[in-house]
Amino acid sequence: MEIVLRKEYTKFINYWLISLLFFIGLIVIVGGLTRLTDSGLSITTWDVVKGILPPLNKNQWEEVFNLYKEIPQFYMLNQNMTINEFKVIYYWEYIHRILGRVLGLLFIIPFIYIYSKKILNKKYNQNLFILFLLILLQGTVGWYMVKSGLVDNTTVSHYRLAIHLNLAFILFSAIFWYYLNIKSEINKIFFEFKISNIVSKVFIFLIFLQITFGAFTSGLDAGQIYQTWPLMNNYFFPDDLTSENIVFSKILNEPSFVQFIHRNLAYIIFVYVLTMSFFIFYKKKRDMYNPTYFLLIMIFIQTTLGIFTLLSGAYILIASLHQISTIFLLISSIYFYYKSLKL
């Protein structure tokens, strides 16, 4: 089945998909910095039209600052914040939201053109429209996440944060997958089940599970405790957990347990990648050499940055690099999985 029906537009489609990947990656990076600087609750309203412009005069700044003063994060943590300090966190969140709007336009305008010119087959038009709906859902979930920190909490729900981040990476992965299909002119199906692909499918599952626990770790500020490695303050298992707080319904709210899982999932994934790589080289699967090299490099970088993020007390620069490397680890993982699928 041909994906691109009008071949003269193939390069245009590829550039469009690459620009979407770049923008989603940029949004994830800015979103991570927004989280690391505790800026995500600085804008307490959601207005698709009015929110396009930031405050333009003193009165407007005082108005948005007064709204911020009404939420727990201000009167419990930031009572001494000046309006100039508020402007810094406001602009982080503002830029994050503006990038989301630009992404929507960057997607829908070329898509309308592509659809009107009948450049792609019907199935791919449908798939791309679903991705646009996913972008809209992502924006809605973003506000749903922010709302969780406006009433009773000084931060957002780590569960909603994880949903928000996973949606972004699902969107990123889907667009990257379509790019690989169009680039290679092969229509590989992501969810196609074959016994021979179980190992690589489990690997992708582990990557997204680790992304989820990474979001939990960030949302709970779990990187601010047990800042030692390889043990957690000389213990393998965190020593602050007792039978009272190890309750299934509450265990994922415990920062020390979440950090414990995030650490050990990293070890499992690291060993898993090494094992897959060993068999690829042992069986001389030469078509998998380049994807494997790329994956090995990124898993090493990501693991190393994770350790340094912990040891530094989640220092913003290192923590941000850790989040950025997650994007490239995901690219290498999806590419590895794509190449492992045989038609």
User: Residue range 96-123: average pLDDT?
Assistant: 95
Measured CA to CA, the distance from residue 329 to residue 333 in angstroms comes to 6
Which residues have a Cβ under 8 Å from the Cβ of 264 and sit 6 or more positions away? none
Measured CA to CA, the distance from residue 29 to residue 174 in angstroms comes to 19
Distance, CA of 299 to chain centre? 16
Domain residue extents for the chain? 1-187, 190-343
User: Residue range 187-210: average pLDDT?
Assistant: 90
pTM of the model: 0.94
Which residues have a Cβ under 8 Å from the Cβ of 15 and sit 6 or more positions away? none
250: pLDDT confidence band, cut at 50, 70 and 90? confident
292: pLDDT confidence band, cut at 50, 70 and 90? very high
Task: Identify the pLDDT of residue 95.
Answer: 96
In this structure, of 104-113, 122-131, 194-203, the range with the lowest mean pLDDT score is 194-203
> Residue 243: is its pLDDT beyond 80?
no
> Residue 16: is its pLDDT beyond 90?
yes
> Residue 264: is its pLDDT beyond 80?
yes
Task: Identify the pLDDT of residue 273.
Answer: 97
Measured CA to CA, the distance from residue 156 to residue 150 in angstroms comes to 8
Summarised one tens digit per residue, pLDDT across range 133-168 is 999 999 999 999 999 999 888 899 999 999 999 999
Q: What is the mean pLDDT of the chain?
A: 93
> Residue 245: is its pLDDT beyond 70?
no
Measured CA to CA, the distance from residue 46 to residue 24 in angstroms comes to 21
Task: Identify the pLDDT of residue 188.
Answer: 92
Percent of the chain with pLDDT over 90: 86
Measured CA to CA, the distance from residue 212 to residue 332 in angstroms comes to 18
Task: Identify the pLDDT of residue 244.
Answer: 67
User: Residue range 284-296: average pLDDT?
Assistant: 96
User: Residue range 54-75: average pLDDT?
Assistant: 94
Place of tokens 């620069």: 317
Q: What is the dihedral of CA 142, 145, 151, 153, to 10 degrees?
A: -130
Task: Identify the pLDDT of residue 343.
Answer: 62
Which residues have a Cβ under 8 Å from the Cβ of 168 and sit 6 or more positions away? 24, 27, 28, 31, 138
Burial (CB < 10 A; 0-12, 13-18, 19+), residue 307, is middle
Percentages (nearest 5) of helix, strand, coil residues in the chain: 70, 0, 25
Torsional sign, CA 47, 48, 50, 53: positive
User: Residue range 94-113: average pLDDT?
Assistant: 96
Distance, CA of 321 to chain centre? 13
318: pLDDT confidence band, cut at 50, 70 and 90? very high
Which residues have a Cβ under 8 Å from the Cβ of 115 and sit 6 or more positions away? 125
Q: Give 61-64's long-range contacts (Cβ < 8 A, gap of 24+).
A: 61/87, 64/90
> Residue 271: is its pLDDT beyond 80?
yes
Q: At what angle do helices 10-36 and 198-219 cross, to 10 degrees?
A: 40
Summarised one tens digit per residue, pLDDT across range 67-79 is 999 999 999 999 9
Task: Identify the pLDDT of residue 23.
Answer: 96
> Residue 312: is its pLDDT beyond 70?
yes
